[in-house]
Structure 1
């Protein structure tokens, strides 16, 4: 890793006890300690991107997702591990037979044929059974649990006496109250709610930031930000049912992330049959590709969207919600709901 102070490239033995061998100054993060590679220089680069050059604030869960982008496990990797294990065991079992019977060409040939047979069967099982099963069912969690990641990042405050640049504390959330809001923004994700509050959204847009539909103030346009998940899509539908035409839902729709290589796409469990039937009954509905994606257990959390893109989409939604039934609004309504411009 690179020393954040003297910029020397440090080997593991040159950075013991969180201290640079050359300049003797402490650093906060050791990249070999966690499942997500993190060091001080990378934190600063991610902080600059998340804050859009210091303009916005972000939260630790948003840093967590940004640090894991491009580093999620491929579900097919499980099949590869199983296949390598089987092939390795076959060699381990058969090789001693070949060595012990080095003068018995019949036994040697039998051992070789058995190994080749095992390899062929393993390949066929992997290709036609295990790999397809893993693609449909293999879990894709975050590489490292949030609380473990949080405990590592806490060392930053120990070393530098402050949080990473521009990071807001979502565990100590304070949302400014707006006496007469002109719009309500519903954000069930606490990390995103804290990001918007710390970035000045309530004051800039005279917006009431709330965590649920139950806390929406009366008589104002309602904007719902949500995950690309069955729960998020239902929330958008519930908002439309409750608040009607004054609802705008610029949250994540599955087709906004399905083909995005850099998007955080996770899978923990597949929805039940009842859950999928309820998704099919939603109006306006999802495409078959979106239903298949959700049915296979995929979802994308709202907190994984970079704050700059989040704010850009939110600003457009506020403009649409407060501008009245103009031509732009009518066109947007015809296109559909749960779109995420620019994501």
Structure 2
């Protein structure tokens, strides 16, 4: 590991207690002990990319996803057990051959079966897409040690703890041009910190109920994850607000799945119910393969989109709404003309 202070290459014995023995300065994260295998230099490098060199602020959840991407791409299911099965199996087989002990051959066969089972499970994707650190645990496992060493969060990361998501009272948002609805508290805090809703005169809501009480009759912009919950959320808004223009600003699932840098994840705790899947099937907008993917709990989260690109797309759509959208263009919006670009630009964090 490289010391973030003196830039010396440290062996494990030279950095006990998260302190460099050369410069005697403490650091926050050690890749050997951190569940995301992070170092301070890696956090700084990826934070600089996400914030566009400090031009914009990001929320901790966006940093969580960027730092988890590499682990989400690869399955580590049974990685340690795999060698622990095949190596002893070979060793026991050799002993059984020379000692002429048939019982040991049975033990060897059992170990081989365990190893083969793990290999097959890994090939089928077991463990793939499951974050080693869940989103809720990221502040305690990564940001707290960082703050204890440096006194502040990484440069450009906004302190959203206790912010309540930055949602104002929707009922008091008279005179707005429309409503921006997003159920993700972190994304709302990100957009509010950038000043996007205020810049375009948009009231902000996080639920169908909050959106319904906003006195504005302008369009309702919906921003959501590309997953089963997101599709159902848009449907619920349109059912609850039949007299309003509801524009789906969320990135289309079919488009995002074709982007090579888009890395989905799955949360076993948040699989859609059979009733939800019946609703999605009845919509007729998903292929059988896509429905199976959604039913397994896979998703592309909004916090996984490059922050600068997320701001640019929402800013463009909100700008069209704030300038006033004529009836023909509103109809086009309902039909989906406000889509995300299919050809993505350079990925700011890549596979790091």
Same-fold call, TM cutoff 0.5:
yes
C-alpha separation in 2, matches of 1:320 and 1:288: 35
Report whether the alignment pairs 1:213 with 2:202. Answer: no
C-alpha separation in 2, matches of 1:138 and 1:32: 21
Give the equivalent residue in structure 2 for 1:25.
25
Contact 1:69 1:262 survives alignment (8 Å): no
User: May I ask how many residue pairs the two structures share in their alignment?
Assistant: 330
Worse-superposed segment, 81-90 or 293-302: 81-90
What TM-score comes out, normalization by structure 2 length? Answer: 0.79
- CA RMSD, aligned part only? 3.5
Report whether the alignment pairs 1:204 with 2:199. Answer: yes
> Residue 326 of structure 1: CA displacement?
6.4
| 1:330-341 equivalences in 2 (<5 Å) | 330-335=331-336, 339-341=339-341
| 1:133-282 equivalences in 2 (<5 Å) | 134-135=124-125, 140-151=129-140, 152-173=142-163, 175=166, 177=168, 180-216=175-211, 217-218=214-215, 219-244=217-242, 246-269=245-268, 270-282=271-283
C-alpha separation in 1, matches of 2:25 and 2:33: 19
C-alpha separation in 1, matches of 2:78 and 2:17: 38
Give the equivalent residue in structure 2 for 1:9.
9
SS for the counterpart of 2:71 is coil
Contact 2:224 2:230 survives alignment (8 Å): yes
> Residue 83 of structure 1: CA displacement?
6.4
Unaligned runs of 5+ in 2: 345-352
| 1:277-288 equivalences in 2 (<5 Å) | 277-282=278-283, 285-288=285-288
C-alpha separation in 2, matches of 1:7 and 1:122: 41
Unaligned runs of 5+ in 1: 102-106
What TM-score comes out, normalization by structure 1 length? Answer: 0.80
SS for the counterpart of 1:172 is coil
